[in-house]
Structure 1
Amino acid sequence: MSESARYEEHRARISVEVRHWCERATITGTHAPLSDKAAVLIAAGHLDSPTRQVLTNRRRAGRSIPSIGGFGALRLLTDEYSQAVERIGTQRFRPAQLLYKYRANELGRKLQSYRSAVVTSTAHYGNGVWAMRRDRRLGVHLDLEQREALFAALQRTPAPISEAVLERVGDLARGAAARRLSQAAEHTPMAAVGRRAADAVGRGVAPGDDKFADGYDTLLYLAGMLFDRIDSSHLWHSDHFEVQRNQLDLAEELTQIALDTVALRGIRLELDEALRATHSDGGRKQIRARQSALTPVWDQLVERVAALARIGDLLSHAEVQLRSLLAANKASSLDGRIDDLIARSGSRELSAQNTHHVGDQFDGAEELMLTYQSVLYGDISELISRSNGEP
């Protein structure tokens, strides 16, 4: 199989994998929460155009958003709070109601604390008339209402949830109980029995594949995870890929993917509601036709995320090969220097041949980077065309 055919097969395999994950709302393995940078870019997809522009201006000016230790955790906290509030009204027994009410109050206080940190931080937003005027002139001022909207959007940050939030709390409790049981039995005649019992109690805490609320959250998380992967690549920020970085604004691409995904989810939900409320055959047929018309939009979003995945893979391969190439060249150069040193019997001058050999390693690296630049150019061109809605 030719190199071109292998590359095309790899592209197709990534697209199929991304689509499969989104359809199942599950990503194989466990993954870290998104960075704050990715979370804010995705949150911008929930906001209006003026607020998105201010966030873009702030990012380019180096103005950050207050951190609370991870917006993925904020999403989980918000979901747990909503479930606790919902459970209060479904419990028949008062002790259970009081338990969920206590938990809801506790979570509500945490959410309010985080809201204050994000919305009212004087260290991140202009404090005083002159500071606000200056920030407005620079296009980086967020009004209080915009900050509230941003916090609400950050509460929807896509985050992997292995199981229902309250069930996850139960698993954590079982894990803690298992540790206490094992510690209590240690250094006693029942130590072996205690360890087996602890294993049985804690058996439910093993992590599985990451699950998400729906396919849209899965797609957004994948896009954010790939953004973090590419943005953290030293090679991506090197001189080798300066042209490619100028071609593709990663941050803007992530926001646009989020904007289209959020809009698609909202429209599809409205169409589903309209379909349930419509009883005429003609009306239902028209709604189904509109639903079918949205299928290409979803397909395009999947391909845009798959394109980011291909870029991420390409950079990872390039980094591995570059490290291997430089390590091999360094070892080869060292061997030559040792032989030259022995041959010269103490001479302290490097031979011209050895100097050229040291320089050859950079020629090999440049040739390798030219190959990856060429492949990456094709992926970025395709991604940009999809972003612009071209066929």
Structure 2
Amino acid sequence: MTADNKARTARDRIVSDVDQMCRGEGRPPVAELSDRAALLVACGLVEPRIVDVVRTRLHRNLSFPTTGGFHQVRVIEEQRHDLRRIIDSPAPSMLKMALRTRLAELDRKYLVLRSGFTRGAGVFAYKIKDIRADRRRGVHLDTDDRGRLFDALASTPTMAPVPLVPRTLGELGTVAAAYGQREMGRVVLPQRMQTVVRSLPSLPQIRSDNRRIPEMYTAMLMEVGGLYDRLNAGYFRGGRAVEEIRLQFDAESELIGLSGDLCRLREAAATADASFSSDGFSTLTGMGPAIDRAWAEVVERAVAFRELVESVESRADVAVAEAARVAGIARDNGVRSPAAHYQPNQADLAAEHLAARAGDRMLSTEAMRRLRGQIDPEK
């Protein structure tokens, strides 16, 4: 942590992160959400019964159907949204025709990923007996509910660069020329032709360099999702030093609560067409004092979450430094480090197996002595 970060409060750091994400300035302050964090953020967009199942499955470390990373679903959904908006606008017919072709391709990709998620092969039960058992445990999602959860996952925020959609015939021509140049580079040509192709000027890609999140509520969702990932990383690094915090704090429920509030605020802002949150963090929502007060409470909750995460990270750093110090002392004295990975040999495994059978041996010995006492009481 730099001196500038130490001088600022957790609230200042959150406000700075939200401003940076909304303006698309510099490097993204938050990494792309993990699949686990994305599931919890998506809970703000689905019914409570789905939320309960998601929370229970995560608490029991049960998996969800994977699509190779939910981030690619979010990128596809962003492009589909942009394509529909441009097609509905008064654009040239030739541009609309090309964009409809691209939209159909993205729709197909989306449906393939959605179908794989809703089938849940190898993850959710499919036999009647197993489905009933999972429902009693509260870990089964019906097919329709899996579809709703997938659609919510597609609406979670992303900091991944999303390829921009061509908005004019000139941009469409640039994309087509760039595609042709890339394909030409894959064809095996005579040496003279290869030299000519390589000498062609490089055509620009229609791609956004910096991802810009449209408003502060979505940016705050990205922020708290990133805090959850940082907390899990702190738990992993800190080990037993942070075990007490991990057992007392339900991070999953905390993120679900924040996500629900932020999604409601975002929906209200979209309905009211509020403009206060369009270019960075603001304490005013433009929707009246009641919403402003609720927004302030949500921000304070996120600040408290960040303070806890930073405390866990600090304790984890101390634990890692102490483990390194002890390992260095052990190494200097030629002994095994207490933090080193234990690899038992064959004798250790045999001793462990024999020790596990100590109770059986004791019971057998006592039973034989009692039987002998009945047969020969004089001895």
Task: Determine the structure 2 residue equivalent to 1:240.
Answer: 241
Task: Determine the structure 1 residue equivalent to 2:329.
Answer: 329
> Once the 2 structures are TM-superposed, how far is the Cα of residue 104 of structure 1 from its aligned partner?
1.0
> Once the 2 structures are TM-superposed, how far is the Cα of residue 105 of structure 1 from its aligned partner?
0.8
Tell whether the 8 Å contact from 2:238 to 2:317 is kept in structure 1 after alignment.
no
- Note closer, same or farther for the CA distance 1:270–1:312 as it changes in structure 2 (3 Å cut): farther
Q: TM-score, normalised by structure 2?
A: 0.69
- Note closer, same or farther for the CA distance 1:155–1:287 as it changes in structure 2 (3 Å cut): closer
Task: Determine the structure 1 residue equivalent to 2:141.
Answer: 142
Task: Determine the structure 2 residue equivalent to 1:368.
Answer: none
The amino acid that maps onto 2:16 is H
Instruction: Give yes or no for the alignment of 1:158 onto 2:164.
Output: no
Instruction: Give yes or no for the alignment of 1:102 onto 2:115.
Output: no
- Note closer, same or farther for the CA distance 1:216–1:190 as it changes in structure 2 (3 Å cut): same
Q: Greater helix percent: which structure?
A: 1
Tell whether the 8 Å contact from 1:186 to 1:194 is kept in structure 2 after alignment.
no
Instruction: Give yes or no for the alignment of 1:19 onto 2:10.
Output: no
> Once the 2 structures are TM-superposed, how far is the Cα of residue 309 of structure 1 from its aligned partner?
4.9
- Note closer, same or farther for the CA distance 1:287–1:69 as it changes in structure 2 (3 Å cut): closer
CA distance in 1, matches of 2:193, 2:151: 55
Where in structure 2 are the equivalents of 1:249-288 lying within 5 Å? Answer: 249-272=250-273, 288=288
Task: Determine the structure 1 residue equivalent to 2:74.
Answer: 75
Count of paired positions? 320
CA distance in 2, matches of 1:101, 1:37: 33
The amino acid that maps onto 1:19 is V
> Once the 2 structures are TM-superposed, how far is the Cα of residue 13 of structure 1 from its aligned partner?
3.8
> Once the 2 structures are TM-superposed, how far is the Cα of residue 126 of structure 1 from its aligned partner?
2.3
Instruction: Give yes or no for the alignment of 1:216 onto 2:189.
Output: no
Where in structure 2 are the equivalents of 1:229-378 lying within 5 Å? Answer: 229-233=230-234, 235-236=236-237, 238-272=239-273, 288-307=288-307, 309-311=309-311, 313-314=313-314, 317-318=317-318, 321-322=321-322, 324-326=324-326, 328-330=328-330, 333-334=332-333
> Once the 2 structures are TM-superposed, how far is the Cα of residue 102 of structure 1 from its aligned partner?
0.6
CA distance in 1, matches of 2:87, 2:324: 59
SS of the equivalent of 1:141 reads: coil
> Once the 2 structures are TM-superposed, how far is the Cα of residue 131 of structure 1 from its aligned partner?
2.2
> Once the 2 structures are TM-superposed, how far is the Cα of residue 163 of structure 1 from its aligned partner?
6.0
> Once the 2 structures are TM-superposed, how far is the Cα of residue 148 of structure 1 from its aligned partner?
2.2
> Once the 2 structures are TM-superposed, how far is the Cα of residue 177 of structure 1 from its aligned partner?
7.3
CA distance in 2, matches of 1:96, 1:215: 32
Q: 1:29 aligns with which of 24, 27, 36?
A: 27
Tell whether the 8 Å contact from 1:75 to 1:156 is kept in structure 2 after alignment.
yes
Task: Determine the structure 2 residue equivalent to 1:377.
Answer: none
Task: Determine the structure 1 residue equivalent to 2:349.
Answer: none
CA distance in 1, matches of 2:131, 2:164: 40
Tell whether the 8 Å contact from 1:158 to 1:220 is kept in structure 2 after alignment.
yes
> Once the 2 structures are TM-superposed, how far is the Cα of residue 159 of structure 1 from its aligned partner?
0.4
Tell whether the 8 Å contact from 2:25 to 2:210 is kept in structure 1 after alignment.
yes
Deviation track 1:24-46 (CA, whole Å, cap 9, x = no partner) reads 42474246532211111111122
Q: Comparing 235-244 with 114-123, which one deviates more in the overlay?
A: 235-244
Larger gyration radius, structure 1 or structure 2: 2
Tell whether the 8 Å contact from 2:71 to 2:158 is kept in structure 1 after alignment.
yes
- Note closer, same or farther for the CA distance 1:51–1:94 as it changes in structure 2 (3 Å cut): same
Give 5+ residue unaligned stretches, structure 1: 1-5, 274-285, 338-354, 363-391
Where in structure 2 are the equivalents of 1:78-93 lying within 5 Å? Answer: 78-93=77-92
SS of the equivalent of 2:108 reads: helix
CA distance in 2, matches of 1:32, 1:172: 29
- Note closer, same or farther for the CA distance 1:310–1:8 as it changes in structure 2 (3 Å cut): farther
Task: Determine the structure 2 residue equivalent to 1:369.
Answer: none
- Note closer, same or farther for the CA distance 1:315–1:114 as it changes in structure 2 (3 Å cut): farther
The amino acid that maps onto 1:152 is D
Tell whether the 8 Å contact from 2:18 to 2:219 is kept in structure 1 after alignment.
yes
> Once the 2 structures are TM-superposed, how far is the Cα of residue 208 of structure 1 from its aligned partner?
4.7
Deviation track 1:231-258 (CA, whole Å, cap 9, x = no partner) reads 1346456222211111212222222221
Task: Determine the structure 2 residue equivalent to 1:345.
Answer: none
> Once the 2 structures are TM-superposed, how far is the Cα of residue 291 of structure 1 from its aligned partner?
3.7
SS of the equivalent of 1:232 reads: helix
CA distance in 1, matches of 2:12, 2:178: 37
CA distance in 2, matches of 1:263, 1:239: 37
Deviation track 1:3-30 (CA, whole Å, cap 9, x = no partner) reads xxx9997273442122122134247424
> Once the 2 structures are TM-superposed, how far is the Cα of residue 77 of structure 1 from its aligned partner?
0.4
Task: Determine the structure 1 residue equivalent to 2:125.
Answer: 126
Q: Comparing 222-231 with 111-120, which one deviates more in the overlay?
A: 222-231
The amino acid that maps onto 1:86 is R
Tell whether the 8 Å contact from 2:165 to 2:206 is kept in structure 1 after alignment.
no
CA distance in 1, matches of 2:121, 2:209: 41
- Note closer, same or farther for the CA distance 1:197–1:97 as it changes in structure 2 (3 Å cut): closer
CA distance in 2, matches of 1:11, 1:248: 27
- Note closer, same or farther for the CA distance 1:301–1:28 as it changes in structure 2 (3 Å cut): farther
CA distance in 1, matches of 2:136, 2:232: 30
CA distance in 1, matches of 2:310, 2:8: 10
